[in-house]
A and B are shown apart, each in its own frame.
Chain A
Amino acid sequence: MSDVATLAVKGLAGGALVVAFALLGEAVKPKRFAGLFGAAPAVALAGLTVTLLTKGVGDARHNVTGMVAGAAGMVVYAALVVVLLRRVPARAASSVALLVWAVVTAAVAVPLAS
């Protein structure tokens, strides 16, 4: 399978799984419980499955090593959004938190990658 075809399959699978988890989140209450599914491993399951089928375990293991850093950043992202949404609109809160996600993720990823 060519790289472009692999990326297309990853995109379709990732989009489909994100929608599946989003619908699961819509089907439960309260909002706080539904929020669990906003950080479900939808993109990870899609990406890792295709990587395992096309590249093998070595690449998948490297992928999840990087994912440890991204997930650490996401914990900080979600906690920060809770605080920021008290003071600023959602788009501003998300934008600031995304910058902090990048900083935290880089701080964890650099030692893991070296």
Chain B
Amino acid sequence: MSEPSFFEPPDESVGAQPEAIREVSPRDLALRFGFGAATSVVAGALSLATTPIIGGVMLAFPAILAASLTLIADQEGRSDAREDARGAVLGAVGLAAFAGISVALFGHLPAGLVLAVASAVWAAVALGGYWVLWVARRRSAQAEQRVPRIG
């Protein structure tokens, strides 16, 4: 089976597979925890040692994504890792929107509300982008296949 390109929707529909969580090894979780903790500490330390703007850069450092992609490539193959990275492109666009809306709202709304709004914006951009780019396109292609040809 050939691998879809970036704009071609994946063959599989979005769904839940909670049973897959049981297959995640403690070592993989520990690795991700370590990368998350290390990135957070470096971001905080850079904020203290330099400026909060430079420390803030590390809040979007792709160490965790790099660890995930390497684990997926090792365990499931590079094709699956590429599919994961295609999704991460949209997640990263959402992350930029998270940061942008936070810059605009901090100081104007209560801080907790800003984080809630920014999280909702991340979800809207990432999930909405996925729906527009790939779910709607897949449904449209399927509907076209169902229309009977006349003549």
Contacts and interface: CB of A to CB of B under 8 A. Distances in A.
Given A57-B111, A73-B60, A105-B57, A38 B88 contact: yes
A41 B107 CA distance: 20
A82 B12 contact: no
A81 to B, nearest CB: 4
A46 B40 contact: yes
A67 interface: yes
Interface size class of A (residues with CB under 8 A): 35 or more
Contact of B44 (A7, A23, A36, A74): A7
Chain B interface mostly helix, strand, loop or mixed? helix
A103 interface: no
A68 to B, nearest CB: 4
Nearest to B96: A71
A85 B65 CA distance: 14
Contacts of B88: 35-36, 38-39, 78, 81
A99 B130 CA distance: 27
A9 B67 CA distance: 22
Given A37-B91, A109-B53, A44 B60 contact: yes
A27 B21 contact: yes
B11 to A, nearest CB: 8
Interface string B77-105: 01011111111111111111011101100
Nearest to B38: A11
A73 B122 CA distance: 16
B17 to A, nearest CB: 5
Contact of A11 (B40, B96, B103): B40
A64 B68 contact: no
A62 B39 CA distance: 18
Interface in B27-61: 29, 32-41, 43-45, 47-48, 51-61
The list of the 3 closest CB pairs from A to B, nearest first, reads A35-B87, A14-B40, A66-B56
Interface of B: 6, 10-18, 20-21, 23-24, 29, 32-41, 43-45, 47-48, 51-62, 64-66, 68-70, 72-74, 76, 78, 80-96, 98-100, 102-103, 106-107, 111-112, 115, 118-119, 122, 126-127, 130, 134
Given A74-B60, A82-B6, 13 more contacts: A18-B33, A27-B16, A29-B12, A31-B84, A34-B84, A35-B87, A43-B43, A62-B53, A64-B102, A74-B96, A90-B69, A94-B70, A105-B57
